[in-house]
Amino acid sequence: MLLPALREQVLDANLELVRRGLVLYTFGNVSGIDRSQGLVAIKPSGVPYDELTPARMVVSDLDGTIVESKLRPSSDLATHLEPYRCFPNIGGVAHTHSEFATAWAQAETPIPCFGTTHADYFHGPVPVTERLTAAEIAGDYELETGKAICRTFTELDPDSVPAVLVAGHAPFCWGPSAASAAHNAVTVEYVAKMACHTLLINAESRPLARELHDKHFLRKHGKNAYYGQVKTQ
């Protein structure tokens, strides 16, 4: 069996979405990539989470050709592959229809950074894609969704803002691994919920000051990060 460790990581990241209450039924999917082999492992389509095993993960190449599987891949495979092609540092992609983040996607409104919880993970608002055109929807819809994600980051750094809201659809998140992509999916739901509550309490709430936003993001990320423990390996 190809990529046993990656299959295991992708399975666990998919189950993490369930453990954190982010998915109903078979909604949601996580994938991970082995950059050295150019192969992606992703959840199969429509299989209940409690029936998932490492062997049931689907392995595809970056063009969407299935390399090893008895099952069909998640129908969102083409949407996952496009970020792997355009964001060279990412190692995992997670997609959910989690309640609050999806509400922001449906409102086609970026999630403002109202506090340091958001700033710890996202160096700026979580953006929203453009709507797909009728031709894009009628064409290769899942691939066009991926392209809309990549276009949203023409002027943004996907490593600093590891999530997007697909207009009228739901969030897609990513990170250096499948586990980090799932972690970011959990986090984007949490900040989406808090942003909603913040605006309910005060509709005039202001985004966090740039200085505090930078402070929190940069103490956890980048060359001068100092949050957490020193890595020994």
**Given the rule CB under 5 A, which residues bind Zn ion?**
170
**Whether residue 61 lies in the annotated active site:** no
Strand order in the sheet with 163-165: 66-68, 58-61, 39-42, 29-34, 92-95, 171-175, 163-165
**Nearer to Zn ion (CB atom), residue 96 or residue 180:** 96
**Whether residue 120 lies in the annotated active site:** yes
**Nearer to Zn ion (CB atom), residue 149 or residue 170:** 170
**Nearer to Zn ion (CB atom), residue 59 or residue 166:** 166
Q: Is the distance from CB of 208 to CB of 113 less than 8 angstroms?
A: yes
Report in angstroms how near the CB of residue 79 gets to Zn ion at its nearest.
8
Neighbouring C-alpha atoms within 13 Å toward the C-beta of 92: 27
**Nearer to Zn ion (CB atom), residue 119 or residue 184:** 184
| Residues contacting residue 94 through CB under 8 Å, at least 6 positions apart | 13, 17, 28, 29, 30, 172, 173, 174, 178, 181, 182, 184, 185
Report in angstroms how near the CB of residue 107 gets to Zn ion at its nearest.
16
Which entry of 12, 34, 49, 120 is annotated as an active-site residue? 120
Element (H, E) at 110: none
Q: State which residue has the least CB distance to Zn ion.
A: 170
Report in angstroms how near the CB of residue 30 gets to Zn ion at its nearest.
12
Report in angstroms how near the CB of residue 158 gets to Zn ion at its nearest.
19
- Residues marked as catalytic: 120, 227
